[in-house]
Amino acid sequence: MTATGSTSAARARTAAGRGGALGVGVLGVGRIGRVHASTLARSIANARLVGVADSLGDRAVAVAEEFGVRVWRSVEELLDDEEVDAVVVASPTPTHARYTVMAAEREKHVLCEKPLALDEATAADAAATAQRAGVVLQLGLMLRFDADVVRLRDAIAVGKLGDIEIFHASLRDMAPPSAAYLSDCGGLMSDAAVHLLDLATWLVGPVESVSAQGARMRSGIDSGGVDLALTTLRFASGALGMLENARGASYGAECRVEVVGSQGSAKIERARSGNLEWRTPGAATVDLVADFLEPFAAAYRSEVGAFVDAALAIGPCRAGSDVAVAATRLSAAAATALEAGTVVQLDRVAAT
Ligand SMILES: NC(=O)c1ccc[n+]([C@@H]2O[C@H](COP(=O)([O-])OP(=O)(O)OC[C@H]3O[C@@H](n4cnc5c(N)ncnc54)[C@H](O)[C@@H]3O)[C@@H](O)[C@H]2O)c1
């Protein structure tokens, strides 16, 4: 989505009113919200963490004390605070679209964790509200902010790999999240595959059709439906894609991306913790991560920094409303394909 006149006006008001620093409130300070709060408090020069809110009051108090910021007792209290120019929505998935709309209606910029919604109509409504209000709406798709992924995209754009023929990607968690999280995250496609589906369109281009197969491999663990899924994509260019999402890889968390073109291929792998390699007689070992917070720490920081710059009108919005709606359209199509066991045709879903 491009900046409209009213967007510029809202951004200018923000910048002028805060002396150049964006006042931000974080809504939901669990796993990812605490990471974003920490980034805003410690790593972004032109932003100020004003405070946090969480339905678990004790959790909000603990995070607020850690960063020396205020605690709001409700979403409304956060959004009505005049020092808040922008909000990070990191509460559970079913709240995303509603909180985005509430924030936009108060002319607050929004960084909303993925997915914006589970269905396209709801996502589109929230995106339209943000556009009407003239605020920035960025979706939390951190892979777009990973330095290697950005380099790969730039290389593909200038033809370094030739015509892209195959896109392969996998995202494996070490263990499924809590039962409470699983009960309302929307399932594997909306919760996890959405990252890879968005990446596929961003790196390779519009997707024409999607099919998927799922399995439940970890019996005895409530993994909220299938815990392993393979999704295949046919791109409008003729290229093919294969995505794997797994809830419980047991040995560690791992993310891989490989793009194969007519003139070469490129691969990114994230599984290691640190750079130490241990060598003992006959063996070499490395440490593996248990989740994605460490391997994507820089990407999460870059994502928040880019959002702040976009809200202050000093940088582009790199994962805006259109991207958010397209991501929901694709993940909903993948969920339908998984459930019905059919190939779902799409109207050329492209990422901007
Ligand atoms: N982009 C990423 O890499 C990434 C990673 C993790 C999570 N996420 C997304 O972020 C969201 C949160 O995930 P998480 O893993 O941090 O979950 P979490 O359960 O650890 O944290 C969610 C927090 O929100 C609070 N909360 C619950 N209902 C609320 C409400 N109505 N209002 C305010 N706060 C409320 C909970 O008490 C909890 O502290 C999910 O939508 C998830 O998809 C994205």
Taking only the tens place, the pLDDT of each residue in 236-281 is 999 999 999 999 999 999 999 999 999 999 999 999 999 999 999 9
Q: Which amino acid is at 123?
A: A
Give the ligand 1 atom nearest the CA of 54. Answer: 34
Q: Which is it for strands 228-235 and 47-53: parallel, antiparallel or unpaired?
A: unpaired
How far away, in angstroms, is 286 Cα from ligand 1 center?
31
**pLDDT for position 179:** 87
Taking only the tens place, the pLDDT of each residue in 167-209 is 999 999 999 898 889 989 999 999 999 999 999 999 999 999 9
Share of the chain above pLDDT 70, in %: 91
Contact (CB, 8 A) for 72 and 79: no
By CB atoms closer than 10 A (0-12, 13-18, 19+), residue 165 is middle
Report d(CA 223, CA 216) in Å as an integer: 8
The residue whose CA has the least distance to atom 30 of ligand 1 is 55
Ligand 1: residue of 38, 55, 102 to mutate (most ligand atoms within 8 A of CB) is: 55
If residue 17 lies in a helix (H) or strand (E), which one and from where to where? helix 5-17
How far away, in angstroms, is 156 Cα from ligand 1 center?
34
**pLDDT for position 217:** 85
For the record, the structure tokens of 167 come out as: 């896109």
Q: Which residues line ligand 1 (CB under 6 A)?
A: 27-33, 53-56, 59, 75, 90-93, 95, 113-114, 140, 142, 181, 185, 191
CA angle (157 as vertex; 212, 246 as ends), nearest 5: 25
For the record, the structure tokens of 268 come out as: 């990114």
Single out the residue of 335, 32, 320 nearest to residue 202, CA to CA.
320
Q: State the helix-helix crossing angle for 120-133 and 321-340, rounded to 10 degrees.
A: 180
How far away, in angstroms, is 27 Cα from ligand 1 center?
9
How far away, in angstroms, is 33 Cα from ligand 1 center?
7
Give the ligand 1 atom nearest the CA of 30. Answer: 21
How far away, in angstroms, is 261 Cα from ligand 1 center?
37
CA distances (Å), 199 to each of 164, 203, 346, 352, in order? 14, 6, 17, 11
> For the chain, which residues score pLDDT lower than 70?
1-18, 219-224, 348-352
Contact (CB, 8 A) for 40 and 26: yes
How far away, in angstroms, is 5 Cα from ligand 1 center?
33
**pLDDT for position 4:** 46
